[in-house]
Amino acid sequence: MTTEDLSPEKRMAPGTSSGINSLIAAANKHDRFHLLEDQNVLPANLDNPIHPIFWWFDCDGPLQQMLRLASHFLTHDTVLTFFVPLLYGRELTTNDGKAQMTYLSDPMASASRAKRDDLIDGVRQALHCLAHSIEFRFMVPEKRVYARTLTNSSSRVHASNCSSVFQRRLTARIEIADRFLHFYKSEEGYAASSRCAQFRHDFLLASTLVHEIVHAVGVMRRGNLIEPRIRAEHPDTEWGYAWEHFMFGCIINPQDRTRPGTHLLMRKVWADTKVAEEAGGKEYSDVSMSYIAQWFRNETWDIIASRGPRAIRLPIVHFKIQSSHKHGAWIVSANSINIRRDILALHQQWRQQSRKLGANGLPVSNCSRILLRPQTARALQKSNVPTPSRMYRRPRIASTKTRKLKTTQVVTANTKVTVQEADTPANASRKRLVESMTESTTVHKKVKREKGIRSIELHT
């Protein structure tokens, strides 16, 4: 174990500077990993039609490129497969003696080629139907919410030739944080921004819209906002995350929301929080602009159309940051020695600020420790928690006991669920929350160093 203890005294650092954002900024100093700008990324060349779901938006203005991307997410057979269990799956319940779990069957798994084509056609028709049963609205959000989906009872919205999978008297409303729109409209905003800044903003809004549409599909199908797991092996029931995981193999969010537009993006593995904590803390990795930019190219979508979203490689990890309760520290993993230098500089800065505050008798908040973990480029690509499969697999039955206990319940959502207004209050909603680590920065002073972590330990 290599450990550098640079400051024997344990001091508290000011909370404002101890956050994740300054760590990310130090790790990406001078934008060394091209998380903000990359002169080599090609301009967008999307020229696909905009999906009717999005006709409420101004399709000819600055949102056009974003809407083309959002439409791609809802167009190709290989991406529509995601929606098949949501619309045609049966609810199954397992009970392995610990906890009961409801998930969906995947009709694609055992279907013939012809049947698969029918299912995909059904999805395509259903998504078109959403064009007249979802409304969008830009709103001042509740705190930390990007967007949310609510239900409305309504008079009949569908025609006789409409898809039959949805509840007949229910519509959905998707509310989107108005800061997205402000950036498109502001003079110093989207139009004045670099290609890369536009890509980030378009990418985040397009993926947020489809994330919410996935919830809306569920609401319209089942008539309520209680989502079963899509697959038994999924870490939770969040359908929006399930879609992001299907599409990207990770959850991608910006960290710094204090700036207009969309600042640099970070990603995490879709995993159970407790599992991640036990594995040393949730890992946040960088997402470079080359990864984001490729989504705006026809070539990328040609690949997805023929081979599906798994053919697009995950972003290459240059550094990872964990807020580890177990170690009571931020853990920065990287294989660049330049990062080490800049993290040390940040640490010095925290210490000085802390001293200044202390000397002036001002309260000094949580102490921030940093563990710097050198890792090879290869090791960095590995997640500390298992990632759910992006392909459908039949749920594994762990033991004979499990098999005996397993009950299979089974009603298609369509026949079983009936909706009454009282069951779906208008304020019920599924929300896409802003991901941020800044609120989990509680750091403990006493730490046992564990085997296996080669690290430089910094105290402030």
Q: Please give the residue ranges that form the binding site for Zn ion (CB under 5 A).
A: 129, 158, 162
Closest distance between Zn ion and the C-beta of residue 134, in Å? 11
Nearer to Zn ion, 19 or 218 (CB): 218
Nearer to Zn ion, 134 or 458 (CB): 134
Closest distance between Zn ion and the C-beta of residue 162, in Å? 3
For every residue of 194-254, DSSP letters joined together read: -HHHHHHHHHHHHHHHHHHHHHHHHHHHHSSS-PPBSSTT-SS--HHHHHHHHHHSSEEEE
Are the CB atoms for 315 and 267 separated by under 8 Å?
Answer: yes
Nearest residue to Zn ion, by Cβ distance, number only = 162
Closest distance between Zn ion and the C-beta of residue 130, in Å? 8
Are the CB atoms for 269 and 281 separated by under 8 Å?
Answer: no
Torsion-angle region of 56 (φ positive above 0: left; ψ -120 to 50: alpha; else: beta): alpha
Nearer to Zn ion, 166 or 190 (CB): 166
Tokens of 406: 């397993």
How far apart, in whole angstroms, are the C-alpha atoms of residue 12 and residue 355? 8
The label of the residue with tokens 């090879």 reads 376
Nearer to Zn ion, 53 or 232 (CB): 53
413 phi, psi to nearest 5 deg: -55, -35
Q: In terms of Cα–Cα distance, which of 20, 108, 79, 109 is closest to 301?
A: 79
Closest distance between Zn ion and the C-beta of residue 220, in Å? 10
Closest distance between Zn ion and the C-beta of residue 128, in Å? 8
Tokens of 370: 């940093």
Tokens of 212: 């919410």
E strand segments, 33-114: 91-95, 100-104
Are the CB atoms for 210 and 73 separated by under 8 Å?
Answer: yes
Question: How buried is residue 321: exposed, middle or buried, by Cβ count under 10 Å (0-12/13-18/19+)?
Answer: buried
Nearer to Zn ion, 170 or 456 (CB): 170
Nearer to Zn ion, 158 or 340 (CB): 158
Tokens of 369: 């420790």
Nearer to Zn ion, 129 or 370 (CB): 129
Closest distance between Zn ion and the C-beta of residue 218, in Å? 16
Closest distance between Zn ion and the C-beta of residue 149, in Å? 18
Nearer to Zn ion, 28 or 151 (CB): 151
Tokens of 243: 């879609």
Closest distance between Zn ion and the C-beta of residue 136, in Å? 17
